């Protein structure tokens, strides 16, 4: 049974949850998505490609979820924003969005074969407005030989702070992301991305985060971000 905070967080994700597969019900917006592959697989559950350490951390966080203080967030290949009914004004009004290509859209972090790209699981603490992401990056995320690409790290930071903003603010977009890369992260290592909602001012949500080694001895990266709740009356053009 979900606790109250779990229900609230998962309710917030319903509006713009990370990758809920598109609705199967027919309708005008559903026609855009008719040719896509629909996968209901929750990628936040252990897979064969997860290392022993990743599984250990998963088990530790799942233990913390037992009293309801932490929530295990699901993740799917599709983001609900692909459902045009979630963005009625933007998608239908903008001439810039290719409606055919939209049906092939897939969440960037879920676009690699298992184990080669982004493997991660996120846990949310409602009382502390924190999300911890346990991230195991694969060999296709290489930048300098032997280390992760900075863009791959930025992607996972954006995904984690973004999820924190979504849980609190609903439909948001990244307006600003500042990253200090302090140490290179060895390729294929597992790191913790710790994000914190710092404040909300009107439509603006400020979220900070750091990336640490699992033993917390190495601070790899620090970041601050600004997310803006979308004004659904405005158009993208
Ligand atoms: C695993 C994955 C899970 C899912 C997580 C997904 C995370 C990924 C999210 C993304 O990557 S989104 C993609 C990257 N972001 C974009 O493409 C956004 C592009 N920018 C925009 O579309 C608009 O600038 C934006 C929607 C962010 C804001 O436009 P609005 O017209 O809604 O806002 P407006 O200009 O009215 O500004 C609202 C407030 O925000 C402030 N603001 C907006 N942009 C700002 C900025 N860049 N820096 C500082 N402040 C900014 C602005 O000053 C104002 O402050 P005040 O209310 O105090 O007056």
Q: Using the predicted structure, report yes or no on whether residue 79 has a pLDDT greater than 90.
A: no
Q: How confident is the model at residue 236 (pLDDT cuts 50, 70, 90)?
A: low
**Mean pLDDT of all residues belonging to the chain:** 82
Sequence ranges of the domains in the chain = 4-21+40-229
Atom 21 of ligand 1: nearest residue by CA position: 175
- Between 82 and 41, name the one with better pLDDT: 41
Secondary structure tally for the chain: helices H, strands E: 5, 7
Q: Does any ligand 1 atom lie closer than 6 A to the CB of residue 63? A: no
| Catalytic residue ranges | 158
Give 24 Cα–ligand 1 centroid separation in angstroms: 30
Polymer length of the chain: 237
Cβ(235)–Cβ(194) under 8 Å?
no
CA-nearest residue, atom 50 of ligand 1: 175
Would you state the pLDDT for residue 37? 44
**Ligand 1 atom 53: residue of nearest CA:** 204
Ligand 1 atom showing the smallest separation from residue 18 Cα:
3
Regarding the beta carbon of 176 and ligand 1, being less than 6 Å apart is answered: yes
**Residue 163 Cβ contacting ligand 1 at under 6 Å:** yes
Q: For the residues 174-189, what does the mean pLDDT come to?
A: 98
Report the pLDDT value the prediction gives residue 1, as an integer from 0 to 100: 37
The average pLDDT across 19-39 equals 35
Beta bridge partners of 221: 181, 211
Kindly report, residue by residue over 108-141, the tens digit of the pLDDT: 999 999 999 999 999 999 999 999 999 999 999 9
pLDDT band with cut points at 50, 70 and 90 for residue 2:
very low
CATH number of 4-21+40-229: 3.10.129.10
Which ligand 1 atom is the nearest neighbour of the CA of 166? 5
Whether the Cβ atoms of residue 32 and residue 103 lie closer than 8 Å to each other: yes
């Amino acid at each position: 049974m979900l606790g109250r905070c779990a229900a609230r967080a998962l309710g917030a994700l319903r509006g713009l949850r990370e990758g809920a597969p598109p609705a199967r019900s027919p309708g005008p917006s559903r026609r855009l998505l008719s040719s896509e592959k629909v996968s209901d697989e929750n990628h936040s559950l252990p897979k064969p490609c997860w290392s022993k350490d990743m599984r250990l951390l998963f088990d530790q966080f799942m233990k913390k979820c037992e009293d309801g203080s932490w929530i295990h967030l699901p993740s799917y290949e599709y983001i609900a924003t692909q459902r045009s009914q979630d963005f009625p004004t933007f998608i239908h009004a903008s001439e810039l969005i290719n409606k055919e290509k939209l049906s092939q859209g897939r969440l960037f972090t879920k676009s690699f074969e298992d184990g080669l790209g982004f493997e991660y699981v996120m846990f949310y603490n409602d009382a502390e407005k924190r999300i911890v992401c346990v991230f195991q990056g694969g060999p296709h995320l290489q930048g300098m030989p032997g280390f992760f690409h900075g863009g791959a790290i930025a992607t996972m930071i954006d995904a984690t702070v973004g999820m924190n903003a979504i849980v609190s603010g609903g439909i948001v977009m990244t307006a600003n992301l500042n990253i200090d890369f302090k140490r290179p992260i060895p390729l294929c290592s597992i790191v913790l991305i710790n994000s914190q909602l710092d404040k909300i001012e009107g439509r603006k949500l400020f979220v900070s985060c750091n990336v640490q080694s699992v033993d917390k001895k190495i601070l790899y990266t620090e970041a601050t971000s600004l997310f803006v709740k979308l004004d659904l009356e405005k158009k993208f053009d």
